[in-house]
Amino acid sequence: MFITDTIVAISTPIGEAGLAVVRVSGPNALTVADRVFTPVGKSSLQPSSAATHTIHYGHIVRDGSRVDEVLLSVLRAPRTFTREDMVEVSCHGGLLPAKLVLDTILAGGARLAEPGEFTKRAFLNGRIDLAQAEAVADLIHSRTELALSAAHEQLAGHLSRRIEQLRDDLTRTLAHVEAHIDFPDEDILPDTRSRLVGRLEKAAIFIEELLRTAPEGQLLRRGVRAAIVGRPNAGKSSLLNQLLGHDRAIVSPIAGTTRDTIEETANIRGIPVIFIDTAGLREASDSLEAEGVRRSKATLEKAELILHVVDATEPITDKDWRLLEDSVNKKRIVVRNKIDLARDTVWNDSFGITAISVSSLTGEGLETLKDTIKSLLWSGGVGGEMLQVMINSRHQEALRRAHFSTTHATDALRNDQSLELVALDLRIAFNAVGEIVGKTTTEDLLDSIFSQFCLGK
């Protein structure tokens, strides 16, 4: 794809800050910079005359008036993020300075970039593949160090190298099958057929290993929704504050204080968990509380993990049991709160549910609760090998298709069926695997992926 236009966008978050960065990329990036930048100093140079990877002090100027005092970085192709000529302008932060610099560069001949367009150009220009491009978005959106590590591993190309290895194995097998199709008089020898079947079986196992990383990979990327439910005054809001490490929800001895759901994300042993504090489930005394109860029930239905908080100083009621029955098909933990006031009470495990005793006042038992949450959500340990290849939902869907076609081709080959059918299945598998790294893709797919990126990346 031949790119002719030059794009610009603010690459730092909008808001008050010490600095903002405005990024320009494209074949005319240096020419556009010449039009808007006035260097300052005896040895100063215009951007088009400057060496690559150098920084220059000066002013952004429009219609003879100074817009801002800036540092301008010159980055020449191909040693740039997009493999195009690039200019990065560090200007004063804040809503107005960055916008005025952006407007000046737009007037100088650039166009406003679309979301993710810088990364899209990096992909189109061959600097990174599609899996690595997605890792850029994962890195930006990471909410825990574990998620950040997984994004770094994918950006470094660990998953891509495994996918390329798989594509190479499928290519060799397909070439062998097609060679016999071209010479139909020569049957595949039993030993050769056995080797081809063995190679495809290994490919299927390899795909299965990648597919097993999908749940954890998706967990790190999107987090898990955990509803904190229970009767009024069980200490749900206090528990939320303890898990977050700061006061987010209002705590009061008055029953029914929480009228709406409150959502906040916490890092629980490397896993992003979106905790939702809900209104206490009881007969509402007014329409406002009734709406809170309704939202609590809706949250309970959508949640992937339930923390059922009970007051350890009081006996378990029928309402508690009914609430437990409502969440029977979900991962759940009974949190026995206020153990600082009820040391001698015992949990009657009639439902076979894990129960953790905590004190939201002192923090006692919170670390055990966090360990239990992680063990329910995460299967096994978190090794470096797993972090390298954690696939996302798009990869998962492509690998499932590849696995189906590979298995189908293996069965056909083993049962001495038509080689044309074997080759067809292998091509489908090959193309499906290629979708992961962008070797076989469509413009609609690319637009869908990069539209999820932030502007300026």
pLDDT, tens only, 77-92: 999 999 999 999 999 9
pLDDT of residue 24: 97
pLDDT, tens only, 161-186: 999 999 999 999 999 888 878 776 66
Longest dimension (CA), the chain: 87
Rounded mean pLDDT of 412-441? 91
Q: Is 442 exposed, middle or buried (0-12, 13-18, 19+ CB in 10 A)?
A: exposed
Choice among 2-6, 116-120, 395-399 with the minimum mean pLDDT: 2-6
Superfamily name and number for 221-377: P-loop containing nucleotide triphosphate hydrolases (3.40.50.300)
pLDDT of residue 429: 95
pLDDT, tens only, 178-237: 887 877 666 666 677 788 899 999 999 999 989 988 888 888 888 888 988 888 888 888
Q: Indicate the CATH number for domain 132-213+389-450.
A: 1.20.120.430
pLDDT of residue 250: 45
pLDDT of residue 383: 53
Starting at the edge strand found earlier in the chain, the sheet holding 19-25 runs 37-39, 54-62, 65-75, 86-92, 19-25, 7-10, 111-112
pLDDT of residue 132: 92
pLDDT of residue 106: 97
Rounded mean pLDDT of 53-82? 95
CA dihedral sign of residues 141, 147, 152, 154: negative
More confident residue, 313 or 30: 30
Domain ranges of the chain: 7-113, 132-213+389-450, 221-377
Is 50 exceeded by the pLDDT of residue 251?
no
Rounded mean pLDDT of 278-282? 57
Choice among 11-15, 72-76, 242-246 with the minimum mean pLDDT: 242-246
Is 70 exceeded by the pLDDT of residue 287?
no
**CATH class name, domain 7-113:** alpha beta
- Helices 29-36 and 95-107 cross at an angle (nearest 10°) of 110
